[in-house]
Amino acid sequence: MFSTEPVLTLTHADIYQGTKLVLGDVSFQINKGDFVYLIGRTGSGKSSLLKTLYADLWLQNGKGLVAGYPLDALKPRDIPQLRRKIGIVFQDFQLFFDRSVEDNLKFVLKATGWTNKTDMNNRIAEVLMQVGLGTAQKKMPHQLSGGEQQRVVVARAMLNEPQILIADEPTGNLDPSVADQIMKVFQSINNAGTAILMATHNYDLLHKYPARVLRCQDGQVVELKG
Ligand SMILES: Nc1ncnc2c1ncn2[C@@H]1O[C@H](COP(=O)(O)OP(=O)(O)OP(=O)(O)O)[C@@H](O)[C@H]1O
């Protein structure tokens, strides 16, 4: 995808945890269809940066625009809408283990304003196909492998057709071959036009699936030249 339509722009942003400045003067842009890794040592600020992007941490200084929402001028009532335009995937799966895959996904659809049953069922079938789990609809999470559960989480993040998928260590708990499956799913999502920003410690993935790389280091974010 060779578009320059920005989906995420940070300009001279300072990232804080409480009163502690974690990353200073951060500027970068992610366009539609970009795939970007976020790397850096433990404690370097990757999660804090991602949390700022989905408004779990306030942006106190600088400017940020995510999926059309200005982080520096965000009102609390805008946060649910912002998060609908972003797909968020964490390391630990956070599925409801007492409901089927279908019901896990339906829960999100209902919470984000969907009401038509046919539309919901169609969308659930679509996202499950997208992650290669077309037959898992009626299964309970415990009947799925860790990799399959993580793919359901990715499917859930895709329900509202986000402009960007933000993933924090999405392969952190997975075997290398399973991490590979997740990467293939991310690539197909990315090829269909969704930008991806993925924090990872897994440098093998960077070699195997080359893309843009941002590194958190010494309180700054720098782009590595490929
Ligand atoms: N809830 C919090 N309250 C206060 N300080 C925090 C909080 N979470 C993280 N920090 C601090 O902010 C800094 C950045 O942490 P962050 O979790 O963003 O790093 P990270 O690069 O994501 O690390 P990891 O790779 O281990 O996940 C660290 O110094 C950390 O101790």
The answer to whether residue 2 scores a pLDDT higher than 60 is no
Find the CATH number of the domain harbouring 130. Answer: 3.40.50.300
Tell me which of 14, 15, 17 to substitute to probe ligand 1's pocket, judged by most ligand atoms within 8 Å of the beta carbon.
Answer: 17
**Minimum CA distance residue for ligand 1 atom 29:** 43
Provide the β-strand partners of residue 36: 197, 212
Ligand 1 atom, smallest distance to 201 CA: 25
Structural domain contains residue 215:
yes
Vertex 15, ends 80 and 158: CA angle to 5°?
Answer: 35
Q: What are phi and psi of 224, to 5 degrees?
A: -80, 135
Structural domain contains residue 1:
no
Name the 3-class secondary structure at 131: coil
Structural domain contains residue 216:
yes
- Which tens digits make up the pLDDT trace of 43-70? 999 999 999 999 999 998 999 999 999 9
What distance in Å separates the CA atoms of residue 16 and residue 24, rounded to the nearest whole number? 9
**Minimum CA distance residue for ligand 1 atom 17:** 47
Mean pLDDT for the stretch of residues 120-146: 96
Structural domain contains residue 148:
yes
Report the predicted TM-score, pTM, of the whole model to 2 decimal places. Answer: 0.93
Name the 3-class secondary structure at 207: helix
Task: Compute how many other C-beta atoms are within 10 angstroms of the C-beta atom of residue 220.
Answer: 14
Provide the pLDDT for residue 66: 97
Structural domain contains residue 24:
yes
Structural domain contains residue 165:
yes
Mean pLDDT for the stretch of residues 208-219: 97
Ligand 1 atom, smallest distance to 50 CA: 18
Ligand 1 atom, smallest distance to 216 CA: 21
* Residues whose beta carbon lies within 6 Å of some atom of ligand 1: 17-18, 20, 22, 40, 42-48, 216
**Minimum CA distance residue for ligand 1 atom 2:** 17
Res. 148 pLDDT band, cuts 50 70 90:
very high
What distance in Å separates the CA atoms of residue 148 and residue 140, rounded to the nearest whole number? 11
Long-range CB contact pairs, 120-126, < 8 A, 24+: 123/159, 124/159
Q: How many structural domains does the chain have?
A: 1
Mean pLDDT for the stretch of residues 75-85: 90
Domain hosting 82: range is: 6-224
Q: How far is the CA of 186 from the centre of ligand 1 (A)?
A: 25
